[in-house]
Structure 1
């Protein structure tokens, strides 16, 4: 199916298979290993500024070609070449119970600078989640059933009032970009300022080890109030869903609260087996586990070449977790490579106040779009 302009007034565009499946999986890995509780109940989000603040700025790299392709295609279709600035880039997932009523993306006074929206679907309706169908109030298509790789672009005005059905099962994942004609809302300038602060004193060797944000950003409760007694830490919960738990040394003390547990070294447990591999904190462990989920089939071939470091906790042997050992080294290679790229490209971004894909083998002057 080719891209479709649904409206004669050119207010929206649908493009199937805009992202590759691997791009979708990579962004899913980043989100599920980095997200915080979101801006409304049962919603989780990962912004580029949050990645920078948690020492995961290297994860910005996979977004760059996607942002450029989306911006170029949107400007071309809406005939506003070189007029737009990216106001916001974020990964957003909706879990069971999340929904949104009819609205347009600029219907609040503080969002009047928002002129266009682009939503890329990273997983598929009916396979990864149920519910979550996207509806336009008027015009065609009346509804969009999300499919991994598809994108819808539209004007953020009353031509495109829309809603999203309640999620009934699973987790609906998207990457959302909002665009503005107002340069004062340019996301890149703000991100470059944050990068200047965070990269200034970072050693390249450990610049990819994550540092969790404050505890309340990972605390999920029905009311989503950070001081609510009942709830759970979403980093821990995502590990649990995948069949893992964490073990913290007795030296850490028995009176630790959740905020302490986030930043203390941990080990992974699966069933009755303890992996004798120390992670710097729970987010480090979570990133390795989700990297393994993304790259698992390729990593399994390396397991036989990896020294076993599994300690039996009991005599009952359950599912092996030695595949994680291969993921540790592969994750380090992946994160280190991204970290090197961001250190090499950052001087060019800072010079031009714009985040873009730098071709380092070409003259600097040819790199600015």
Structure 2
């Protein structure tokens, strides 16, 4: 009997470094949209390209290569596989999935193998959400950050995921196929080539994210046609981290705007507010602000001693009229505070301590560190792109 039949699954402990797990967490919490099932949120590579953040695919590139090699080696299918899908997926309170195999729907028949990389810790960052196999060993998998589970996408690996009872369970999920027509790289390269042309023509900003349609960020999705209840997930993530936003346009956020009108303002220039203080620094849109805030928490220990460069920091106290406008806006785009807190409000002990010691000067330094990080990724991506186009594959270039 072939090894692939004896061992239809493979577990790799500590496959990803904790630093890489944190980087992918930063990307997901800065860019995700409402996902494919209730209480699930996702960030696909295609979405990163569509929202002017193609440089953020760079941290994924070596992971995709390494996992593809592991799958081919373990299942004896060298040079046969294509990456069919790459995405960050988080499961929040209430999310679960019953027994199924990954090829049990006709439109997924092309999938041969799956790899799930866990980016945070069971019983620390989330509760519930155990991975179960119907047959064979291990029957239960309690994920820890850096662990990977690989398995065949067939009836040998019927599985389920227990309900999340607290926190946010975050994974990087890849599917592999032997069918070249489902090669994810070909689709990504088409979009990347178009992006490179636009950036050379100055048709799009160099590195600032662009917000997708409002319904992609509204939870629950069934309310996205009328926005009568629920919340915008970008605003909610900022809010649970202690931030509000104020429009740069003084005429914005005034009654009688409805939710759909206010949501349009999330794609326009704004300022960040914390407590009763406003940072006089203009962010391009809420995604720009959200990336910087999440970068701040990711790089918190480094930011404490960072040297501030560029313009001096300026923070002003909110006036009573500004506070009223912020409260009105919050009521329009965060109708369900409790639901937002339940899904995004879980913080580890270390983050709680750091949040209590928030410092505007340290945060302001993070803006420039974020720009340097993004520019370096973009530089590496544009350097790699001609090689990717030549070989019609996305891969890591040798270090020079």
User: Is TM-score (shorter-chain normalized) higher than 0.5?
Assistant: yes
Indicate if the aligned counterparts of 1:54 and 1:212 stay in contact, CA closer than 8 A: yes
Counterpart-to-counterpart distance in 2, 1:162 and 1:258: 42
Partner Cα distance (1:186, 1:356) in 2: 14
Q: Give distance in 1, aligned partners of 2:359 and 2:265.
A: 25
8 Å CA contact 1:215–1:258 kept in 2: the answer is no
Q: How far 1:212 moved relative to its partner?
A: 0.6
Structure 1 residues 225 and 320, CA, compared in 2 at 3 Å: closer, same or farther?
same
Counterpart secondary structure, 2:198: coil
Residue among 290, 296, 310 paired with 1:292 = 296
Query: Matched residues in 2 for 1:225 and 1:196: separation?
Result: 32
Give the match's secondary structure for 2:304.
helix
Distance across 1 between alignment mates of 2:159 and 2:115: 13
1:364 matched to which residue of 2?
none
Corresponding residue number in structure 2 for 1:251: 251
- Are 1:329 and 2:334 matched, yes or no? no
Count of paired positions: 354
Once residues 190 and 234 of structure 1 are traced to their aligned partners in structure 2, the CA distance between those partners, rounded to angstroms, is: 27
For the 8 Å contact 2:96–2:129, the answer to whether it is kept is: yes
Deviation at 1:199, TM superposition (A): 2.1
Distance 2:309 2:189 in 1: 41
Match of 1:312 among 300, 314, 317: 317
Aligned counterparts of 1:138 and 1:274: Cα–Cα separation in 2: 56
Tell me the secondary structure at the aligned position of residue 251 of structure 1: coil
Other-structure match for 2:147? 150
Which residue of structure 2 lines up, in the alignment, with residue 32 of structure 1? 29
Structure 2 CA distance for partners of 1:304 and 1:47, relative to 1, 3 Å: closer
Cα deviation for residue 42 of structure 1 reads 0.6
Listed as ranges, the matches of 1:46-65 within 5 Å are 46-65=43-62
* Residue 190 (str. 1) matches residue 195 (str. 2): no
Could you say if the C-alpha distance between residues 31 and 346 of structure 1 is closer, same or farther in structure 2, counting changes exceeding 3 Å?
same
TM alignment of 1:185-264, pairs within 5 A: 185-202=182-199, 206-221=205-220, 223=222, 225-249=224-248, 250-252=250-252, 254=254, 255=257, 257-264=261-268
> Which residue in 1 is equivalent to 2:13?
16
User: Would you tell me which structure has more helix in proportion to its own residues?
Assistant: 2
- Structure 1 residues 111 and 312: alpha-carbon distance in aligned structure 2, compared to 1, 3 A threshold: same
Matching residue of 2:106: 109
1:351 equivalenced with 2:386 (yes/no) = no
Return the offset for 1:310.
1.4
Q: Distance in 2 between matches of 1:176 and 1:258?
A: 34
Q: Structure 1 residues 286 and 251, CA, compared in 2 at 3 Å: closer, same or farther?
A: same
Q: Which stretch shifts more, 299-308 or 106-115? A: 299-308
Deviations 1:313-361 (A, max 9, x none): 269xx95433220110000000000011111111111111100012274
Of residues 270, 277, 290 in structure 2, which corresponds to 1:273?
277
Q: Does 1:176 align with 2:154?
A: no
**Counterparts of 1:7 and 1:129 in 2: how far apart (Å)?**
32
Uncovered stretches (5+) of structure 1, i.e. residues with no partner: 1-5, 362-369
Using the size of structure 2 for normalisation, the TM-score is 0.85
RMSD of the alignment, in Å? 2.1
What's the CA shift string for 1:11-36, capped at 9, x where partnerless? 00001000000000000000000000
Q: 1:188 to 1:319 in 2, by over 3 A?
A: closer
CA shift, 1:263, in A, is 1.2
TM-score (norm 1): 0.91
Cα–Cα, structure 1 residues 44 and 100, in superposed 2: closer, same or farther, change >3 Å?
same
Work out the CA distance in 1 between the residues paired with 2:358 and 2:77: 55
Secondary structure in 1 matching 2:165 = strand
List runs of 5+ in structure 2 lacking aligned partners. 321-356
Q: What per-residue deviation string (whole Å, max 9, x for no partner) do you get for residues 38-86 of structure 1? A: 0011100000000000000000000001111111111111111100000
